[in-house]
Amino acid sequence: MKFTDRGIMALKPKSARYELWEDGRTGLGLRISPAGRKSWIYMYRHSRKARRMTLDTYPAMGLADARLAHAQAKKLLAAGIDPGAQLLERRRGERNAETVADLAREYLDKWARPRKRSAAEDERILNKDVLPAWVGRKAKSITRRDVIVLLDGIVDRGAPIQANRTLAVVRRMFNFAIERDILGATPCARIKAPAKENQRDRVLTAEEIATFWHGLDTAPMTNTVRMALRFKLVTAQRKGEVIKARWAEFDMGERVWTIPAERSKNGIAHRVPLSPVAMEILEIIHAEAGESEWLFPSKRTGRPITDEAVNHALLKSVSVIGMNNVTPHDLRRTAASHMTELGIPRLVVSKILNHADPSVTGIYDRYQYGPEKRSALEAWGRRLQGIIEGRPADNVVPLVTA
């Protein structure tokens, strides 16, 4: 039979399965089942034995593609390779290939959790946007277009910076797949971050600090979030280190908070002297937390409140507070900037912020700057009291807050 698309489409099923072969004894044939299913087949001999392989179904594989697959099979056969056995092996591999969910699980277990302090955020991003979009998909089936569509959807819902974060996680996950020989290429190649990120330089003025502090009292947020924001401003520590703090990390006698190495961003244990203002806030926090091991437990889960909860609460509250364009991280920058304004050396402020120092001097200098950090934070506490109570910084009474 001379195969043409019109002739193939006109073929009708019979009571029993039958086969038709292309003219010229090429070995390319078409099998028609009683149900009308049409499949491309190739009849050949390998190692002196007659064999046949099913290429694909029609019309999923059109006539032109069938002839191409047939030619490729003949080429393998000429090289001494059984094309049918190779096809079966490839299909078996495809059936057993890792899904995106499998890859995400392996990435989190083998790479993110052992190496990244933000592994929980990677997991959140994967569960929120990536896995629902690619549910059931094989990792190898994901294309650049799939990644672009995923990111566009996140941007369209008004979260362009989150789209950047998602791209970073997906790119790292697929690079991990290449390193583990799960995939041969990444679909993230040459994809640029969807949104431009500008480094923030927002520092609250003294007037804004007072507005912010007092505005928190009427802001639509839990007292747990409220006190976490205040404690962050007082201590100048990172949001993740604040909200995941445990009472076991605090020595109330020495008035020191030790952030353990496993929770510190640079992997080094960090001692934060506690000013009188910080100690007063801790008393309120303790009354709020009750018997929890955490300073800032969620009333719903009992676990620490999340980054997202703090961000969302502040975002909802800024208009009530009477401010705009304020993020939790601005509080840390504000505290640092006001300390340098007080004449505190940048090196001491850097030690309070626990910034990594990769210089040769930084590597060999193991001095903890404890007295200097305490003096600086107490000076910042006095300055903060003065701002909140409208008094000169050197003429204040202990801060009372509720």
Domains of the chain: 5-96 (3.30.160.390), 100-179 (1.10.150.130), 206-389 (1.10.443.10)
130 alpha carbon, distance to own chain's centre: 10
71 membership: H or E segment, kind and range:
helix 63-78
Query: What does the pLDDT read at residue 116?
Result: 80
Residue 135: exposure state from Cβ atoms within 10 A (0-12, 13-18, ≥19): exposed
Under the banding of pLDDT at 50, 70 and 90, the label for residue 396 is very low
* Strand intervals (E) in 238-294: 250-251, 256-259, 270-273
pTM of the prediction? Answer: 0.56
Beta bridge partners of 49: 46
Query: What does the pLDDT read at residue 200?
Result: 66
pLDDT at 341 over 60: yes
Query: What does the pLDDT read at residue 132?
Result: 95
Tell me which of 7-11, 181-185, 318-322 is least confident: 318-322
Tell me which of 52-56, 348-352, 362-366, 376-380 is least confident: 362-366
What 3-state class would DSSP assign to 107?
helix
C-alpha dihedral sign at 127, 133, 135, 136 = negative
Under the banding of pLDDT at 50, 70 and 90, the label for residue 368 is confident
User: For residues 53 and 27, is the Cβ–Cβ distance under 8 A?
Assistant: no
pLDDT at 221 over 60: yes
pLDDT at 31 over 80: yes
As a whole number of angstroms, the distance between CA 81 and CA 74 comes to 9
Give me Rg for the CA atoms of the chain: 32
Looking up tokens 């800024």 gives: 318
pLDDT at 283 over 70: yes
pLDDT at 401 over 50: no
pLDDT at 363 over 50: no
Under the banding of pLDDT at 50, 70 and 90, the label for residue 360 is very low
What 3-state class would DSSP assign to 182?
coil
User: For residues 244 and 264, is the Cβ–Cβ distance under 8 A?
Assistant: no
Query: What does the pLDDT read at residue 182?
Result: 85
CB atoms within 10 A of CB 276: 15
Query: What does the pLDDT read at residue 242?
Result: 93
pLDDT at 1 over 90: no
pLDDT at 108 over 80: yes
Q: pLDDT, tens digit, for every residue of 286-326?
A: 988 888 999 999 988 889 998 888 988 888 888 888 887 78
Q: Look at 357 and 247; give whichever has higher pLDDT.
A: 247
Tell me which of 19-33, 159-173, 307-321, 350-364 is least confident: 350-364
Query: What does the pLDDT read at residue 374?
Result: 93
As a whole number of angstroms, the distance between CA 335 and CA 343 comes to 13
Under the banding of pLDDT at 50, 70 and 90, the label for residue 364 is very low
pLDDT at 149 over 70: yes
Residues of the chain with pLDDT > 70, as a percent, come to 91
Q: Which two tokens stand for residue 126?
A: 């994967």
pLDDT at 384 over 80: yes
Q: What average pLDDT does this structure show over 263-274?
A: 86
As a whole number of angstroms, the distance between CA 299 and CA 319 comes to 25
As a whole number of angstroms, the distance between CA 244 and CA 307 comes to 10
Query: What does the pLDDT read at residue 72?
Result: 92
Q: What is the mean pLDDT of the chain?
A: 87
Q: What average pLDDT does this structure show over 323-342?
A: 89
Q: What average pLDDT does this structure show over 344-359?
A: 84
Angle subtended by helix axes 370-389 and 346-353, to nearest 10: 90
Query: What does the pLDDT read at residue 157?
Result: 85
pLDDT at 377 over 60: yes
